[in-house]
Structure 1
Amino acid sequence: MASIRSARPSRTLVVLAGLCGAVGVTLSALAAHRGGAFTGTAANFLLFHAAALLAIGLAAANRGLRLGALVLVFGLVFFCGDLISRDLLDDRLFPYAAPIGGTALIAGWLIVAISGLFRLQD
């Protein structure tokens, strides 16, 4: 008979959620005062992913959820980093940074979805 362990919150994901939220609010203010459609888009992505990362960090029910969250963070860094770089530096982060980040975001959400079907215990 398998034992059921209580899920422990992931401090790392909670911290990353807080950082995404703080940077998202900062970028929202920057976009409102300075302008920049790319910065506004990056801010929106960071803000709604902050809530998702917080939920996953607090639930942290299985490895699949945590893996999906980390892939989301990877995607946010590249996708949002490239958008912010375009507005603030008038240059790309590096070629294909946004598509790589966007693909990682899609993959991260698919991993989260799949983790709901298969419980990968620690």
Structure 2
Amino acid sequence: MGLDLDRAVGVLAGLAGAAGVAASAAGAHAYAGTNLDTAGKMLLVHAAALLALAGPLGGSRRLSRLAAVVMAVGIALFAGDLAMRAVTEAHLFPMAAPMGGLLLIASWLIVAISFVARRG
């Protein structure tokens, strides 16, 4: 099965999103003080733009819905934990932010897979 341009752009968006989350995490921890966090932000912003440009049909409906649910849970855990720590200095629960980050990476990979799996 060959990839048409919309599918290729959708796959690239998913991969860029996953790489952006991973780069942002690495830039905040292992490579703090480098441009890796900035690179991650650029990947994430442009992943969303590529996804919007990937065509009106999007990816596989079932996988797109799964990606949306996984992304929503990932956002809630990651951002929720960071916000709670900022306000109360307490964690949402142990490992909430890393778990949320992994779910965000997984959701972007599901986006990429949804474009490969799309019919038509």
Alignment TM-score, normalising by the size of structure 1: 0.49
Alignment TM-score, normalising by the size of structure 2: 0.50
